[in-house]
Structure 1
Amino acid sequence: MFGKGSTSYEVQSRREGRWNIQGAFTDQEASLSCARSLLAAGGVEEVKVIKYRTLAGLSLETVILHKKAPEVKSKPLMLGGTAEGAPVCRTLEDLRGFESRVVIGRLLRVFLDRLRITPTELLHSWPHFRKLDEQGALLSAAIHATARHHADLHGTVVATRVKELRRLVDAAAAEARDFLAERKNLPAFNAQDLDDTSRRIDLAVGEEAHDTLFLSLLTLHLVEGGTLAGKLDLLLDLIDDDTSPRHLILLDGVMADALGSADTLKELLGPQPSLFMGLCALVDALYGRDPDPVVPQPTVALSRVCDLTLRGRAPLCRIVLIDRLRQTLLTDQPLDRRDAKAEGALIQDLTQRLKGPDDQPLGGAPVAKALERRMVRHRQAILREQGMHHIADQLSGA
């Protein structure tokens, strides 16, 4: 009497709290299959399939499928390294200093990389402090690891040192929270004129508090960068030949923070066929050598950083890059996975490439020692392949 009418199906998904239409279908099975595929692929919080039917001028809606993605409990984050080299911080200035940030970057590397932030951003951002607290025992583990290191090195009492460090961390978090509450009344960050930014900061809070507020404002500016590599680009854009030493010191520190991430450095080196080639590209960039046609060149950003280090304008970046080189040499990763037998020859090649005009290795004794340890491991592997385990063990103690 009224005719068959028409029927259609709409698939919707929710991501980050927002519903979006994923597709429209005339076949029910096709719409259900689409919804189930979205759930299986992940990245959605829930899906719906809505059936629309028009009949005699009326439109009827029926939800025929509504499913939520199963909650995946992420594993608690673990410390990313040791507290070796941690300075004995007594003040907030100590906690925010370069040596302290290097250790923070090592201990909290997994957390920092997941949020794509630097230690400087963590120390100046209340939302990031809050997210760190949400990780359960991660912050406490970092504090206790540092306190134990201080006890081993300086004979301090672990419990006492834990309280002192916790007090400093709480003070940093409180200052970050106060900044967030008051930022509307504070000077804005002028990326086109850092001198103007600093003049207004000095007027607002005085020269003694300048660096803390400058870095707090800078962290807001860096949000636009997204990834650590993107933030490094923003930092480089703030530097030109007229940038004052006052600002260079601060920007160099934050760039060094970003370079402390192994994943970020790998991205900055660009596609490299082997670890050996990647190290060669880094060494050549740090020396400012003419491009080697055999070695793929690093990104423009890393080349710019290395140029700043050569001109003495980014000393902290140079320290971090050389230490990353040293740490990489200490790993068990072969210099070329495609040809493990070439390890010895590649170590010798790298040893020569590391030498500068003064015939001294880049990074001095620490890098030379790391190279020597890698060569010892290589010789041990050869001896063990030949069944000479006893000689290999003796070699390790040489």
Structure 2
Amino acid sequence: MATETSKDSAQAEAMKILSQAGIEGVRVVSDTGKPVNSLGPEDILFERIKPKGDEKVFIQNIDDAPVCYTLEDFYATDGRTTINRLFRTYLDKHNLTATEAMHSAREMKRLLDDGTLLFSAVAKVATFQAAKLEDTNANERRETLFAYVDQINHLAQKTLQRPMPRIRDVGLNEGVAELKASAAPEELDYLIRSALATELVENRSFVGKLGQAVDWAVIAEDPATITALDIYISDILHNADVLRDMLGHQRDLASALITMICFANGEPIGEEPEELTIEHPAYTNIQLNRLIGSGKLPESKAILVDRVRRQLEGLSPLSKGDREEEREVFHGLLDKLIPDINIVGGPDMAEAVTARQSTIINKGGQKGMKEAAASVLPTLADPGRKAGYLLSLLESKLGVEVLGAEIDNHLDALLVGSPSVNHLVREKLPPNKKMAKVTSIFNQINKSALPDNRKEQLTTRIDELLATYIVDGKILDKIDKSDRPLHVRAFMLVSLVQPEMLPKGKASNLAREIIVNHLKRPNFEADLVSQIPDPKDQANTLRKFHEQLHRCGFFG
């Protein structure tokens, strides 16, 4: 950055800076005191982008492509992800995202004029898609895809013929309001994306695009606008430079992946200022982190998680040290990926974890994958984490095609082979937390891809373990002591049969029986609140107790 006293000298200095290596563009602006992100066209005195080299751009290799059944599939997550990967070098060369390219008539024309590039991409995708479809071949599928490309181009050209608000002139929410007032409901989502593309295409920096999109997302009032911005932000996150800028300096790949998981979970990265202003150097990162954490950007979160998965499946070492350090940092990574029974990234991540473990133990092939899955389990320690990993792995391609029998054996060893709850959950936890942990496994099994008869076998075993634990540990006797106020005992008993505490079955029926006996007592409600002096507190206690009974299914 430099300052000059005249436009001519500033322009001359800008051209000197542009000639330096690593500089892609320069801009001379008036010294108005405005933040960089708030500059308008009237503030820009001179701008020049360094021409990209004429190096040949090739379509990137991909190992699969989803089938596009409708035009909307191209704009959807899987379609855009495929386009972003196929055209990565092209998009990076022109500082574009897939969604910008599909909504800008000018960019669509440039792509169509780019010789064999589009043909190569369509041919590659057609081959993958034809293999998944009956009664079609690659040539026929190619023609179908080109017809979709024509429709995409037609829509982009058609938008030029209609009045469109300029967001930079009228504001984001005002521009969307204009579109909502004039557009048919079925075309509104497309037109919002198109209006955003008009602005973003003019920003020839991925970091700049991200800053602008995040700024808009912070002030966006309409859910459709947030959805559209999530699309653009998720596309921008495919760019490697953006990710490097977002993550900052990292010690090694494992550290970078852990930071990315934290970002995807909306966990603050580093200290945040008490009052965040646009001048703060991490303003965009912090706002993006907050938006993801609030659940407003699910596609952007998914892109970060998928990036972690692909890096985990790759061959790059996680650490810069020896094999033992690689093991240690991988265990730290597992703490973030599998914090409890739900694995971040689901079945695909479970497969990636197994693939990375096979690299660490240096054993390949099917035998190596089987050993890898077995050796991941001891590092997880917690039974809920083990069950979550196994049940997610079961739904992966690796689980379906290779590891089905091994996963069954591991589940048997974990659940059927445990003689008691205390053997299954070895941590020194209070009874309610132990029961909740075991119940979470029960519920996860019911949601899993296991066959129904296998689910019944395992859940019946878990129910038996819980019932034995309650009886042998005299859990109900300890709760239902006569010297304890009735309303305290009642709430503790009802809490015991909450869905997250005990599943329906033998174990919960033991507690339910005691609750039912209490409910049958004459004047039960009066006795329930007899030791609560305040009438208002009595009424609130009765209301909350009935709400809990309803939640536990006592009234149907």
Normalised by the length of structure 1, the TM-score is: 0.71
- Which residues in structure 2 correspond to 1:96-135 (within 5 Å)? 96-135=75-114
Percent of matched pairs sharing the same residue: 26
**What is the identity, as a one-letter code, of the residue corresponding to 1:365?**
P
1:54-133 pair list within 5 angstroms: 74-82=54-62, 84-91=64-71, 93-133=72-112
Q: Counterpart of 2:361 in 1: which secondary structure?
A: helix
Asked if structure 2 preserves the Cα contact closer than 8 Å seen for 1:187 and 1:204, the reply is no
Asked whether the 8 Å contact 1:376–1:395 carries over to 2, the reply is no
Instruction: Give the CA deviation at 1:261.
Output: 2.5
Shift of 1:193: 4.2
| Worse overlay, 364-373 or 331-340 | 331-340
**TM-fit CA distance, 1:198:** 2.5
| In 2: Cα distance, 1:205 partner to 1:365 partner | 41
State how far apart, in whole Å, the 1-side matches of 2:266 and 2:195 are.
33
In 1, Cα distance between the equivalents of 2:287 and 2:20? 43
- 2:130 pairs, out of 151, 158, 165, with 151
Say whether 1:365 aligns with 2:363.
no
Letter matched to residue 345 of structure 2? G
Q: 1:159 to 1:336 in 2, by over 3 A?
A: same
Aligned Cα root-mean-square deviation (Å): 3.3
Q: Matches of 2:366 and 2:78 in 1, distance apart?
A: 36
Following the alignment from structure 1 to structure 2, what is the Cα–Cα distance between the partners of residues 327 and 229? 22
Distance 1:40 1:281 in 2: 32
Instruction: State the shift of 1:282 in Å.
Output: 1.5
Unaligned runs of 5+ in 2: 1-10, 24-51, 272-280, 371-556
- Residues 243-252 or 223-232, more deviating: 223-232
User: SS where residue 218 of structure 2 aligns?
Assistant: coil
Give how far 1:40 is off: 12
Shift of 1:192: 6.5
Deviation at 1:75, TM superposition (A): 4.3
Tell me the secondary structure at the aligned position of residue 238 of structure 1.
Answer: helix
Helix, strand or coil: the match of 1:117?
A: coil
Q: 2:311 corresponds to which residue?
A: 328
Counterpart of 1:61 in structure 2 is none
User: How far has the Cα of 1:164 moved from its partner?
Assistant: 1.3
User: What's 2:442 paired with?
Assistant: none
Query: Which fold has the larger relative contact order, with Cα–Cα distance below 8 Å and residues 6 or more apart in sequence?
Result: 1
Counterpart mapping for 1:364-383 below 5 A: 364-380=346-362
Q: Is 1:281 matched up with 2:263? A: no
Q: How does 1:249-268 map to 2 (within 5 A)?
A: 249-268=227-246
Q: Deviations over 1:357-394 (max 9, x none)?
A: x44332123212212211111211xxxxxxxxxx7667
Q: What is the TM-score with the length of structure 2 in the denominator?
A: 0.52
Report deviation, 1:322.
Answer: 0.8
Aligned to 1:309: 292
CA distance in 2, matches of 1:363, 1:169: 31
Q: Is the 8 A contact 1:225 1:233 kept in 2?
A: no
- Quick one: distance in 2 between partners of 1:301 and 1:206? 34
Is 1:231 the equivalent of 2:209? yes
- Residue 213 of structure 1 corresponds to 191
Asked whether the equivalents of residues 265 and 301 of structure 2 are also in contact (C-alpha less than 8 Å), the reply is no
- The partner residue of 1:396 within 358, 363, 368 is 368
Residues 158, 291 of structure 1: alpha-carbon distance in 2 compared, 3 angstrom cutoff? closer
Is contact 2:206–2:236 with CA below 8 Å preserved after alignment?
yes
| Aligned residues of 1:351 and 1:361 also touching (Cα < 8 A) | no
How many Å apart are 1:231 and its aligned residue?
0.8
C-alpha displacement of 1:178: 3.6
User: 2:289 corresponds to which letter in structure 1?
Assistant: C
From 130, 136, 148, the counterpart of 1:168: 148
Q: 1:228·1:258 contact (CA, 8 Å) conserved in 2? A: yes
Q: Is the 8 A contact 1:151 1:157 kept in 2?
A: yes
1:271 maps to 249
Moved more, 239-248 or 100-109: 239-248
* Bigger Rg over Cα: 2
Q: Measure, in 2, the Cα distance between the counterparts of 1:42 and 1:190.
A: 29
Query: What is the CA-CA distance between 1:134 and the residue it aligns to?
Result: 3.7
Unmatched runs of 5 consecutive residues or more in structure 1: 1-19, 23-37, 44-71, 381-390
| Comparing 359-368 and 251-260, the one that deviates more | 359-368
Give 2:110's aligned amino acid: K
The answer as to whether partners of 1:306 and 1:318 remain within 8 angstroms in 2 is no
Instruction: Determine helix, strand or coil for the equivalent of 2:257.
Output: helix
In the alignment, is the contact (CA less than 8 A) between 1:268 and 1:302 conserved in 2?
yes
1:191 and 1:120, CA in 2 relative to 1: closer, same or farther beyond 3 A?
farther
CA contact (8 A) 1:280 1:350 kept: yes
SS state at 1:239 partner: helix
- Equivalent residue pairs, number: 320
SS of the residue 1:90 aligns to: coil
In structure 2, distance between residues paired with 1:207 and 1:345: 53
- 3-state DSSP class of the match of 1:240? helix
Mapped contact 1:232–1:255 kept (Cα < 8 A): yes
Q: Per the alignment, do residues 146 and 359 of structure 1 end up closer, same or farther by CA in structure 2, a change over 3 Å counting?
A: same
Contact 1:190 1:196 in 2 (8 A): no
1:347 counterpart residue number = 330
- State the SS of the aligned residue for 1:336: coil
SS of corresponding position for 2:301 = helix
Tell me which protein shows more helix as a share of its residues: 2
Q: Deviations over 1:229-264 (max 9, x none)?
A: 211111111123762212111111111111122332
Kindly provide the CA deviation profile for residues 69-88 of structure 1, in whole angstroms up to 9, marking residues without a partner as x.
Answer: xxx98443222232624232
Amino acid at match of 1:250: A
Partner of 2:175: 197
Taking structure 1 as reference, are residues 134 and 290 closer, same or farther at Cα in structure 2, changes over 3 Å only? closer
Residues in 2 aligned to 1:397 and 1:235: alpha-carbon distance in whole angstroms: 42
